[in-house]
A and B are shown apart, each in its own frame.
Chain A
Amino acid sequence: MALANGEIDKLVSLERGEIDRRIYSDPAIFELEMERIFARAWLFLCHESQIPEPGDFFQSVMGRDNILVVRQKDRSIKAMLNTCAHRGNAVCRAEEGNARSFLCTYHGWSYGIDGRLNGVPGHGTFYNGQLDKSRHGLAQVAQVANYKGFIFGTHDASAPPLEEYLGATGRLGLDLIAMRGDMEVVPGIQKFVIECNWKIAVDNLFDWYHPQITHASAFESNVLPRVGERRDGGKIDMSDVNMQSGANLELAAGGIIGSKFETVVVLGEYGHAIGGPSTSSSGYFELFPEWRDTPQAKAALGPVGINVAGHPNLFPTTWVTTGQQISLRIPREPGRTEIWWFTLVDRNMPRESRDILISFANRIFGAAGLLEQDDGENWAQATAQTRGVASRRMKHLLGMGLGRGRIKKEGGLSRIEGLTSEYAQLWTYHSWAQWMKGLPWDELKNATTPGDCM
């Protein structure tokens, strides 16, 4: 199963912008991802507003480990493996709720909300009082940290602290939601399953080449609420782009992404990235962009960050949307990914604005989302076509803009400005390959530090 590092280097070519299709369906690669990425990286668990009261819990996922995130009596937050120390049964089977204790329904071992083993049936008689309860609590996640309300965990005790892991790019990603106000998660996490590899679902979030095609029906039928200001993006050359009927594929007038659509791509250490429009050229794509004018937002985002209106991904699987949602792409199997949507609003927002935001979130993304319902079809088919022996000899191409991306460094951020490109996707895959080598943290950081051009 172990892949030599030389083999891993052949899977992703940063120079040619080529990806080996095996990475989307090879079970051995998936297993290695579980060990080298999902057992090491800081992973988003939930937002603190989801568990406000002592005993409130939310069940999350790290790799294939089920995690109980629990508010403690002292208001701190703990994250524990949801598996009994005796025979491994889950000690909680609800997705969320409030608990005073967690009971294993197999043999009755009972744990406090802090994970401490309190009660063992027959402790005095069957175990002669000799079982050391202090040694058999629920396993705690190695590190748990809170960045402005967003709770993360890592299984690696030697991982750098969360803020350092996020770096300027990851922090900017989260600040793009956190700085909008006193944020809370709206009840109801949308969860659904797509038969695709998780990396295809992740790299798509940077992909501003697909919306006008994949989502043509949504743009064309004007079903999308109008967001922000729309400027003339310029007409994309669609000559010889024909439908199965032979008719030219016409794009809706005023489609959001045109030939002049300016983007800013931010490349970060450990594989974090941001891709998408710049505010100055493309508008905000936000329903209520006024928050960007506040002094605290300007200070937190900085001059580069304030110009970012695209999509951050916190490596590996946490997408921060412009519609103030967090989307997780949770790998279940090589060809099966669970999508979770968390929607955040400012607690102090007028009811009417809150309703508009919620309605927008409900209608755009998620399983019935006017945009997302068409995405799954692409991702599932793109994954399926990595299984054929002949098909998988072909590479996936991420070469758009390659060789022309000049990386500017400012305020701790590395950015490329220009037209629609595939830099952020390719950066994600390059970083993925470095993670897959199992490098020590300092070497991993070096290997995922952007150079001068791409």
Chain B
Amino acid sequence: MPNDNEARSSDSRIAAMLRDREVERFYYDEAALLDAHRYEEWLALFADDAHYFMPIRRTRTQRELDKEFTRPGEMAFFDDTREQLAARVAKLKTGRAWAEDPPSRTRHLITNVRVIRDDGRTLEVECNFHLYRTRLHSEETSWIGSRRDVLRRAGESFQIADRKIFLEQTVLLSRNLSNFF
């Protein structure tokens, strides 16, 4: 028979596993919405005060690696409030957003999901992504990177309160970023 301490420890480990599974499931559902072009439902996953940020990355020497990424307040590829993200979604819905008509074919692969911090109300979560895109005849783009999110518990699910996207590219090797990460 396990003693009380062992039982508590076992319970908390099971709780953590269930939580991790919920977070993963949340991300898989999110990826499915994006790949199905269901952008308004995707947008609803973000908190009203959310910030969506993809910094610019620069090749720096090892001793200056702390300056590799730009920070909020500097230049970025994405630096959107939720309202600004909503505007991007509205743009895609006009029927005149030529960069996405014909639409890109995308697949979001989400891996290496790790809950870094959990204070009961908010979670800090890191994951890796591979966003694969093809367009038109033979255009192919592969974006691999990591995301660092702040997730807020919201009922049975989560809300994205902050998302930072770190690409494994300095010069962006594609003509545009007309898709979401």
A190 touches B64 (CB 8 A): no
B175 touches A217 (CB 8 A): no
User: Contact check: which of A97, A187, A220, A372 meets B61 at CB < 8 Å?
Assistant: A97
| Chain A residues, CB < 8 A from B105 | none
A367 touches B174 (CB 8 A): yes
CB-nearest residue of chain B relative to A221?
A: B90
User: Contact check: which of B70, B97, B176 meets A188 at CB < 8 Å?
Assistant: B70
A374 to B178, CA, bound (A): 8
A362 to B80, CA, bound (A): 9
The total number of A-B Cβ pairs within 8 Å is: 135
A218 within 8 A of B: yes
| Chain A residues, CB < 8 A from B67 | 97
User: Contact check: which of A186, A355, A359, A367 meets B77 at CB < 8 Å?
Assistant: A367
**A188-B70, A220-B94, A362-B79 given; A93·B59 CB < 8 A:** yes
A191 to B172, CA, bound (A): 6
Which residues 75-114 in B have Cβ within 8 Å of A in the complex? 75-80, 84, 87-88, 90-99
B60 touches A95 (CB 8 A): yes
B36 within 8 A of A: no
Number of residues on chain A facing chain B (CB within 8 A): 47
Most interface-central of B61, B95, B175 (chain A CB within 10 A): B175
Cβ distance A10 to chain B, nearest Cβ, rounded Å: 31
**A94-B61, A374-B98 given; A358·B74 CB < 8 A:** yes
Number of residues on chain B facing chain A (CB within 8 A): 41
B171 touches A338 (CB 8 A): yes
B98 touches A343 (CB 8 A): no
A97 to B67, CA, bound (A): 9
Cβ distance A358 to chain B, nearest Cβ, rounded Å: 7
A101 within 8 A of B: no
B151 within 8 A of A: no
B99 touches A377 (CB 8 A): yes
Cβ distance A111 to chain B, nearest Cβ, rounded Å: 16
B170 within 8 A of A: yes
A214 within 8 A of B: yes
B88 touches A94 (CB 8 A): no
A369-381 toward B: CB 8 Å interface, digit per residue (1/0)? 0101110111010
A121 to B101, CA, bound (A): 59
A281 to B175, CA, bound (A): 34
A359 touches B55 (CB 8 A): no
A223 to B97, CA, bound (A): 12
User: Contact check: which of B74, B76, B91, B175 meets A370 at CB < 8 Å?
Assistant: B91
- Which candidate, A123-131, A192-200, A429-437, is the interface stretch facing chain B? A192-200
CB-nearest residue of chain A relative to B77?
A: A368
B58 within 8 A of A: yes
B2 within 8 A of A: no
A366 within 8 A of B: yes
B64 touches A94 (CB 8 A): yes
B75 touches A188 (CB 8 A): yes
A191 touches B64 (CB 8 A): no
B175 touches A188 (CB 8 A): no
A223 touches B171 (CB 8 A): no
Most interface-central of A97, A355, A372, A377 (chain B CB within 10 A): A377
B58 touches A95 (CB 8 A): yes
A98 within 8 A of B: yes
A216 within 8 A of B: yes
CB-nearest residue of chain A relative to B173?
A: A193
User: Contact check: which of A188, A343, A367 meets B172 at CB < 8 Å?
Assistant: A367
- Chain A residues with CB under 8 Å of chain B are 93-98, 186-196, 214, 216-218, 220-223, 243, 249, 338, 341, 343, 355, 358-359, 361-363, 366-368, 370, 372-374, 376-378, 380
- Chain B residues with CB under 8 Å of chain A are 54-56, 58-61, 64, 67, 70, 73-80, 84, 87-88, 90-99, 139, 170-178
